[in-house]
């Protein structure tokens, strides 16, 4: 009887905490929407009477431009190109970086030999090699994918490499005393211990991947959101530039939210613990 009462108290406390978290989440998002609304209203008011629309445009004109792009299909076309370049480059960069980070993190001698070269390449500005990718792969998608891959690789690699090096040696000793082989140690200890390092790097890498794809398109491309920004800038179309930037912001926020949800899914064992 006592146990059932304790269970009811625990369930009630959990329900109360969940309701509190939902209320807090709702309140925070309402405040965020208010800030956005006030900013847009202030922007609309100052555009024209105080600042020429040529320099800052106005939210109503930006919305009209976005509606026009959606209606004629140009926004979806350019968005699909940039998103494809970014996703493929991001996945390739992460896969290569995670693999290299695990290998060098486990193989100390190999790491001592290779790390200086990787560090030297990391110091090279990636924008400087973008023209080389255009020469090697052309102005189409492969050159942008290559640029995104290189940018993402170094961001994720060092996090994974350091994460493997920071694994608690006591955990490794304990599981080895239990009879685990090297593969089991890797799967049961090293991989779970580096989750937080990988997702921390991916959170930083997502906006960088988008930036790399857009910069690559601005350097040399005939389609994509970067090309759209460059085209609007060439025509001195401030409204078009802001409209393209708005799409990029929404895309970056959505992708970051997706990475956060993915991290929550793979880290659910912490909640259980």
- Region of 256 please: left (phi>0), alpha (psi -120 to 50) or beta: alpha
What does the pLDDT read at residue 272?
Answer: 46
Q: Return the closest-CA partner of residue 252 out of 222, 218, 209.
A: 209
What does the pLDDT read at residue 62?
Answer: 93
Range of lowest pLDDT (3-7, 41-45, 108-112): 3-7
What does the pLDDT read at residue 185?
Answer: 75
Query: How far apart (Å, rounded) are the C-alpha atoms in residues 135 and 109?
Result: 36
pLDDT of 273 > 70? The answer is no
Q: How confident is the model at residue 92 (pLDDT cuts 50, 70, 90)?
A: very high
Q: How confident is the model at residue 138 (pLDDT cuts 50, 70, 90)?
A: confident
What does the pLDDT read at residue 35?
Answer: 93
Of 211 and 181, the structure prediction assigns the larger pLDDT to 211
pLDDT of 70 > 60? The answer is yes
pLDDT tens profile 241-266? 999 999 999 998 888 888 878 777 76
What does the pLDDT read at residue 84?
Answer: 94
Q: What is the mean pLDDT of residues 126-153?
A: 89
**Contact yes or no for 42/222 (Cβ under 8 A):** no
Q: How confident is the model at residue 146 (pLDDT cuts 50, 70, 90)?
A: very high
**Contact yes or no for 133/182 (Cβ under 8 A):** no
Q: What is the mean pLDDT of residues 173-193?
A: 76
Query: How far apart (Å, rounded) are the C-alpha atoms in residues 189 and 171?
Result: 7
3-state secondary structure of 273: coil
How far, in Å, are 141, 240, 252 from residue 78 at the CA level?
12, 13, 15
pLDDT tens profile 95-129? 999 999 888 888 888 888 888 888 888 887 877 88
């Amino acid at each position: 009887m006592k146990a059932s009462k304790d269970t009811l108290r625990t369930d009630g406390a959990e329900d109360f905490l969940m309701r509190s978290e939902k209320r807090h989440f709702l309140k925070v998002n309402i405040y965020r929407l208010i800030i956005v609304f006030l900013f847009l209203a202030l922007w609309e008011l100052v555009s024209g009477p105080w600042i020429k629309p040529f320099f800052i445009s106005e939210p109503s004109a930006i919305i009209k431009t976005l509606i026009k792009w959606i209606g004629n299909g140009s926004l979806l076309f350019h968005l699909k190109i940039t998103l494809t370049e970014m996703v493929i480059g991001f996945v390739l960069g992460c896969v290569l970086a995670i693999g290299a980070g695990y290998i060098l993190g486990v193989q100390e001698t190999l790491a001592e030999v290779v790390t200086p070269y990787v560090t030297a390449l990391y110091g090279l500005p990636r924008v400087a090699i973008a023209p080389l990718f255009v020469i090697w792969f052309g102005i189409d998608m492969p050159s942008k994918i290559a640029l995104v891959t290189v940018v993402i690789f170094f961001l994720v690699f060092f996090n994974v490499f350091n994460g493997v090096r920071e694994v608690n040696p006591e955990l490794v000793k304990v599981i080895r005393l239990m009879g685990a082989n090297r593969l089991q140690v890797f799967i049961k200890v090293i991989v779970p211990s580096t989750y937080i390092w990988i997702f921390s790097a991916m959170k930083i890498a997502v906006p960088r991947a988008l930036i790399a794809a857009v910069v690559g398109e601005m350097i040399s491309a005939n389609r994509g959101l970067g090309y759209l920004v460059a085209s609007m800038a060439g025509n001195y179309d401030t409204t078009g530039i802001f409209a393209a930037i708005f799409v990029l912001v929404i895309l970056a926020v959505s992708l970051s939210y997706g990475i956060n949800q993915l991290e929550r899914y793979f880290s659910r064992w912490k909640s259980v613990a």
